[in-house]
Amino acid sequence: MSEQASHTYAPPPAGLPGLSSERKIPTHVPEGLVFDPPFEVANALTDPFSLNKKTYEELPPVFWWPRARPGRFDGTWVVTHYDDIRNVYQKEELYSTEGTANFQSLVGETWPMLPIAVDPPEHGKYRILLNPWFSPKAVAAMETNIRTTINDLIDGFQDKGEVDVAYDFGRVYPVRVFLDLMGFPQEKLDEFLDWGYSILHSRYKIEKIQYGVSSALVFLRDFIAKARENPVEGLASYIVHGKIEGRALTDDEVIGMVFFLWVAGLDTVAANTTLMMRRLALEPEIQATLRAKPELIPDAVEEFLRVQPVVNSSRLVKEDHEVRGVQIKKGDHILCYNIAGNFDDEEFDNPWELRFDRPSNRHFSLAGGPHRCLGSHLARRELRIALGEFLRRIPTFSLKPGVDHTVTPGLVATPHLHLVWDPKQKP
């Protein structure tokens, strides 16, 4: 497999929709600290994140990235080193999550995504409400359902010797699990897939994202109204009737929580599943190791999570301060570049090596601090079952010859990835 990819710190592309026409770099940002690293550059490398190696090694540990997000801001500070990233996640007095995942603003709504977009101590009240549904015990109780869901999908392609593992597996099973968790009807699967895809895979096509958000909101609001009248099984109805410190939740709080859970838990699992299967297809010796020792699967999933961080979280700066001597101002944004922090050799030995025997693996793929992923136990269990069942039922697989295996590091990952195997072979 030829490994090639360009690596330049190019200036950002002009004219992205939703950005101000004039890109203003704040005056407190020194010119020498402005860089545009190859974050989310599509490539066909075995390890698609390895492009970012130089970001860590060659760029200053704190730099200004002048690329904006539609409708959000004109640029951001980036921290790439483990300790700095941990500080940003943990120091809630300096860094706020306000405005995170602001998809609702694209359809003119103003409620916050919950619990992500509120700071402690308010934030903790929402976590107390939601935690019981995501505890290790609660997730363990979902094991049988997750396993059945995954095996039903494998039943559909096992004998064919081929699957688009991104589109027909990774994209689908987390949505099925989620519908059951929330108490939403399974018949809504195709619509949920369509809306989610429109929101998270449309890049800068604003109308498509708006379509996904507004369609989802129509369904969710209708479900919420009915559940208010007649409570039903599941997390969505539990939230509708939930209380915080004895008071009922407002409509905005209910929609903020239900909507964010949906955004947070689907494509993240899908992207990780696809990237994991892609790596196994490109390196069959890893399949052999895990088939011979399935007890390694939990550590393998943890290591796959580390080497494929699909989310880089951003924070709003609350007070002027310095990071490594660089002046950061109140109102700036700061991005935790997990894509570099997870490969910091001060924290991880041989960080670019995929190893299933790391004595400690405290990566940032599920973030850190108070907003650490609420669904982490569920995500891990889904990935472990998906990997375990796939290896148990599908013999040695590889990429379908000639198909594109380009991926974009990050949540977009890859929409399609065709795998093949010999169905006559035993796993």
CB-neighbour burial class of residue 420 (10 A; exposed 0-12, middle 13-18, buried 19+) = middle
Q: Is 26 left (phi over 0), alpha (psi -120 to 50) or beta?
A: beta
Shortest Cβ 236–ligand HEM spacing (Å): 12
Q: How far is the CB of 40 from ligand HEM (least distance, A)?
A: 15
Comparison of 269 and 281: residue with beta carbon closer to ligand HEM? 269
Q: Which residues bind ligand HEM (CB under 6 A)?
A: 97, 100, 115-116, 127, 260-261, 264-265, 268-269, 272, 310-311, 313, 365-367, 371, 373-375, 378-379
Beta strand 62-65 pairing with 333-336: unpaired
Which letter, b or e, does each residue of 350-375 get, where b requires 16 or more Cβ atoms within 10 Å of its Cβ?
ebeebebebeebebbbbbbbbbebbb
Q: Which residue has the tokens 């072979």?
A: 425
Q: How many CA atoms lie within 13 A of 261 on its CB side?
A: 26
How far, in Å, CA of 236 to CA of 127, rounded? Answer: 15
Report the DSSP pairing between strands 333-336 and 76-79: parallel
SS3 for 83? helix
Distance between CA atoms of residues 292 and 298, nearest Å: 14
Q: CB of residue 21 vs ligand HEM: minimum separation in angstroms? A: 29
Q: Shortest Cβ distance from residue 200 to ligand HEM (Å)?
A: 13
Q: Pairing state of beta strands 418-420 and 62-65?
A: unpaired
Nearer to ligand HEM, 7 or 318 (CB): 318
Nearer to ligand HEM, 127 or 321 (CB): 127
* Longest Cα–Cα distance in the chain: 65
Nearer to ligand HEM, 82 or 421 (CB): 82
Whether omega for the bond prior to residue 61 falls within 30 degrees of 0, making it cis, is no
**Measured from the CB of residue 225, what is the shortest distance to ligand HEM in angstroms?**
22
Give the nearer residue to ligand HEM in terms of CB position, either 135 or 398. Answer: 135
Q: What are phi and psi of 354, to 5 degrees?
A: -85, 110
Distance CA 64, CA 78 (A): 6
Residue among 209 and 301 whose Cβ is closer to ligand HEM: 301
Q: Which is nearer to ligand HEM, 117 or 421 (CB)?
A: 117
CB of 72 to ligand HEM, least distance (A): 13
CB of 64 to ligand HEM, least distance (A): 20
Closest CB to ligand HEM among residues 60, 120? 120
Reference 340, options 86, 4, 70; nearest CA is: 86
Smallest separation (angstroms) from ligand HEM to the CB of 270: 9
Q: Smallest gap, in angstroms, from Cβ of residue 35 to ligand HEM?
A: 22
* Cβ–Cβ < 8 Å for 81, 346: yes
Please state the φ and ψ torsions of residue 388, each to the nearest 5 degrees: -60, -45
> Which CB sits closer to ligand HEM, 158 or 361?
361
Contact call for residues 303 and 285 (beta carbons, < 8 A): no
Instruction: Compute the Cα dihedral for 287, 288, 289, 290 and give only its sign.
Output: positive
Nearest residue by C-beta to ligand HEM? Answer: 375
Q: Which is nearer to ligand HEM, 56 or 259 (CB)?
A: 259
| Min CB(129)–ligand HEM separation in Å | 11
